[in-house]
Structure 1
Amino acid sequence: MTQHILPAPRVATSRIDRRFPVRAIRFVLNRFLLLPIGAAIALVWANTEAEGYFRFAQALAFPVNEIGMAFFLALMTQEVFEAVMPGGALHSWRYWSLPIAGALGGLAGAAATFFLIVNLRHETVLSQAWPVAAAIDVAAGYFVLRLIYPHRNRAMPFLLVLAMVTDALVVALVVVASPDFSPHAGGAAFLLAALAIAAALRHGKVQSFWPYLIGAGTLSWLGLYWMGIHPALALVPLVPMLPHDPRPREVFDDRLDDQPVHYGEHEWNGIAQVALFLFGLVNAGVILKAYDTGTWTVIVAALVGRPLGIMAFIGLAVVAGLHLPRRMRWGELIVIALASSSGFTFALFMAAAVLPIGAVAGQITLGALSTVAGAAVTIVAAWLLGAGRFAMPKGAR
């Protein structure tokens, strides 16, 4: 009997040991952690062997930033689009007006704070970097809230709508204000041809993503590049015509089954993850001594200006007659506003898009990386406010 019982723990331990690497890899991939891993490597490399790092980064900057990031931006758009489809997690949510008001307030608060500090410090050369302070990392905010609210909660869709609207507005404003933007007829023709090809593939019920990405995606990339629009956005207008399946649960849930659409998403996700790692490796390597006015201006605008703007505009919207979502307290809104303070991924993307290589880019990039501190601030605020998992049990004092 003793011989029969004793081996069991070793078998269980062996099974756990075999599963651990798979679970660890899935944890990293599902939370887009390859980007901060790449960023950490870049920081160490740039501060220990700067010449070699910057030679490497400049060689890969174009293919990674202009082509590779197209897969990640399209993946994020696909996730959100499926969530707002009929039957999706965000489709039946009736309180879109309030988070949209919050998005406008957050954008105004971050930009106003940024410009105020820049002008008070007489550093107007930094003005072009305002989109970095205004950008929101959708995935970072989402996973911070998932940590605070382990079960389904109305805070998640509120943040997602707020972040999506903010980033869409930032991109639109940057495109319109860009001196390179020129709506050439040739570029528009390429874009229309891409949309027509994608529509034809959708009409033909093509389930594989690759004909969409290679055929229509290439034409869209060329069209945007010709018109002076960042070509990494090339796949975004094609997303509504890609094969879809509504996401009735959480937006970033991993769906492992034999459906062709889901299998294609996993292939696509793998490319996006590699692109994210390389993006962090290529763009996050800054000399820590580059810290200057632009660094803390981005931090203050994102961690202070944006949350204050969100709360102010939501307060004005409520005074004007809008209502808070059912059972949502003001304390939860504070947590949501703080969760939006991390710009990280999208802030790095905007820094690479709007700033030339140089001293300004260095200090602004360092500020973009530092906004990750917003996650810690959010968790502390949730603990102080008793939100989510930190809520006091009923009857306890």
Structure 2
Amino acid sequence: MHSESTGHIHPAIRATNILQEFSLPLIAGVVLGLLAANTNHIWYEMVVEFYPFGENASVFGHALTVHFIINGMFMCLFFGIAAKEITSSTLPGGVLNPLRRAINPLVGTIGGVFGPAGLYLLLAWVIYGGSDDFGAVAKGWAIPTATDIALAWLVARLVFGATHPAVNFLLLLAVADDAIGLGIIAIFYPDPHHPVQPIWLLLVVGGMAAAYVLGRFRIRWWPVYILIGGALSWIGLAKAGVEPALALVPIVPFLPHSDHSAGLFEEEAVLDQFEHQLKLFVDVGLFFFAFVNSGVALSSIGYVTGMVLVSLIIGKAVGVTVFSWAASLVGFPLPNGMRIRHLFISGIIAGLGLTVALFVAGKAFPSGSAFHDPGKMGAVFSIASGGLAYILGRWFNARDQEGIGVIDDPAVDSAHQRSEADS
């Protein structure tokens, strides 16, 4: 995810680095999807629901439309990369290791889930309470809990500067947030057309076992793990009625990783190869994901759009700030150099839901629902939180790592002093 330009780099490589670092394919997909849906909606729907292998082609009851191929198959790789980030973060040297260092942002992550979900449900009750639509609208509670890791990291670097401790804090929060998001998708959003059949989840366990055995035999070619373990997991989830795009999430942690203390691999670990060799493909492929998921008519903007957007920006900011600040009061301080102003701005940046929020919106409000397009529009508009964070960052001098000035908190300073005394 992190790429720095050093020395003389070939123009094509430099262009590719910029393309990935600024998530340009994803953003371009969003823009073109919106343009297509608002200029020729019939053509757009024909493209999204096109059957490239014929109208009778299906896999375990799932019609092979362009939409399903991208959301149910390609997104396996996206969530696999997310699982790699989560796995790496728990290893020695990762942002989740040791655990004590990660307590504060992890608590903040919990606030970043409960805050927006609670605010969304409150708004749903205020606007739709007592109506027949309340139950359907309430199903969208998980949409504003998501954080787009890549966009959040990018905006954090622009707002705070590349070396500010708030960048790693936010990266950890986003990774943990997506880990929770994956669980929410699996548990709360089963496929409505395929009733849950838990017995098929044994195939997922079989896939995990296969990946473990391959690791014990020190197989160093990552496609073997994906083709065997990942395939078993995908079939198991698809047949069980659980979102098959999550197939690689339980498999990726079994890919061999660097462990020099155990003397395993001196060369690049399989886990790292998986990310390095797929990252460009996935980043470019997100153009197609954004295109087929963000194409909603501007006329569809409604109350649900505002509910998702407000919950993402305000709910995230307040939830992350309150929970993380409370953790600092009980002895789990923010990273040195971070203060309440940095924390609050980090919470706003975490409101960049886009990728995962779009995915959840499609699950919470299936195609045909009156709230499908408004919910997705709220996820798209969450890009605004990046601009808001940039403005506040300039206003409150967010690049200052000393924390002298605008909204410093003696309680946070006290927590830092207790932590330093303990260590």
Check if 1:131 corresponds to 2:145.
Answer: no
2:239 corresponds to: 226
- Provide the secondary structure at the position in 2 that maps to 1:51: helix
- Aligned mates of 1:221, 1:32 — CA distance in 2: 27
- Residue 119 of structure 1 deviates from its aligned partner by 1.5
Check if 1:198 corresponds to 2:211.
Answer: yes
Letter in 2 for 1:196: A
- Aligned mates of 2:201, 2:252 — CA distance in 1: 18
Check if 1:317 corresponds to 2:330.
Answer: no
- Provide the secondary structure at the position in 2 that maps to 1:142: helix
Letter in 2 for 1:49: N
Check if 1:55 corresponds to 2:66.
Answer: no
Q: Which moved more, 1:142-151 or 1:278-287?
A: 142-151
- Residue 104 of structure 1 deviates from its aligned partner by 1.6
- Residue 392 of structure 1 deviates from its aligned partner by 11
Pick from 44, 55, 73 the counterpart of residue 67 of structure 1: 73
Q: Is the 8 A contact 1:383 1:390 kept in 2?
A: no
- Aligned mates of 1:92, 1:130 — CA distance in 2: 32
Q: Which moved more, 1:83-92 or 1:305-314?
A: 83-92
1:182 corresponds to: 196
Check if 1:384 corresponds to 2:375.
Answer: no
Deviations along 1:329-366, one digit per CA (max 9) or x if unpaired, are 11111121111111011101111223211331101111
- Residue 245 of structure 1 deviates from its aligned partner by 3.9
Check if 1:85 corresponds to 2:99.
Answer: no
1:212 corresponds to: 225
Structure 2: gaps (5+ residues): 1-7, 51-65, 260-266, 406-423
Q: Is the 8 A contact 1:71 1:271 kept in 2?
A: no
2:372 corresponds to: 361
1:121 corresponds to: 127
The 5 A counterparts of 1:1-397 are 19-59=10-50, 60-88=66-94, 90-92=96-98, 94-122=100-128, 123-124=133-134, 125-178=136-189, 180=191, 182-185=196-199, 187-245=200-258, 259=268, 261=270, 264-358=274-368, 359-388=370-399
Q: Which moved more, 1:72-81 or 1:365-374?
A: 72-81
- Residue 273 of structure 1 deviates from its aligned partner by 2.5
- Aligned mates of 1:177, 1:357 — CA distance in 2: 17
- Residue 284 of structure 1 deviates from its aligned partner by 0.8
1:6 corresponds to: none
- Residue 210 of structure 1 deviates from its aligned partner by 0.7
- Aligned mates of 1:388, 1:328 — CA distance in 2: 10
Query: In 2 relative to 1, CA 260–167 (structure 1 residues): closer, same or farther, beyond 3 Å?
Result: closer
Superposed structure 1 runs of 4+ greater than 6 Å apart: 389-394
- Residue 298 of structure 1 deviates from its aligned partner by 0.6
- Aligned mates of 2:172, 2:274 — CA distance in 1: 26
Greater RCO structure (CA 8 Å; 6+ sep): 1
Q: Is the 8 A contact 1:209 1:243 kept in 2?
A: no
- Aligned mates of 1:214, 1:93 — CA distance in 2: 33
- Provide the secondary structure at the position in 1 that maps to 2:295: coil
Letter in 2 for 1:182: V
- Residue 240 of structure 1 deviates from its aligned partner by 1.3
Letter in 1 for 2:179: A
TM-score normalised by the chain length of structure 1: 0.85
Q: Is the 8 A contact 1:134 1:306 kept in 2?
A: yes
- Residue 72 of structure 1 deviates from its aligned partner by 0.8
- Aligned mates of 1:274, 1:138 — CA distance in 2: 16
Q: Which moved more, 1:25-34 or 1:366-375?
A: 25-34
**By percentage of residues, which structure has more helix?**
1
**RMSD across aligned positions (CA):** 2.8
Query: In 2 relative to 1, CA 119–390 (structure 1 residues): closer, same or farther, beyond 3 Å?
Result: same
How many matched pairs? 369
- Residue 279 of structure 1 deviates from its aligned partner by 0.6
- Provide the secondary structure at the position in 2 that maps to 1:342: coil
- Residue 390 of structure 1 deviates from its aligned partner by 9.9
- Residue 40 of structure 1 deviates from its aligned partner by 1.1
- Residue 20 of structure 1 deviates from its aligned partner by 3.6
TM-score normalised by the chain length of structure 2: 0.80
Query: In 2 relative to 1, CA 259–55 (structure 1 residues): closer, same or farther, beyond 3 Å?
Result: same
- Aligned mates of 2:275, 2:185 — CA distance in 1: 29
2:408 corresponds to: none
- Residue 168 of structure 1 deviates from its aligned partner by 2.7
- Residue 149 of structure 1 deviates from its aligned partner by 3.2
- Aligned mates of 2:198, 2:339 — CA distance in 1: 49
- Residue 201 of structure 1 deviates from its aligned partner by 1.1
Q: Which moved more, 1:358-367 or 1:74-83?
A: 74-83
Deviations along 1:286-311, one digit per CA (max 9) or x if unpaired, are 11111111111111101111211222
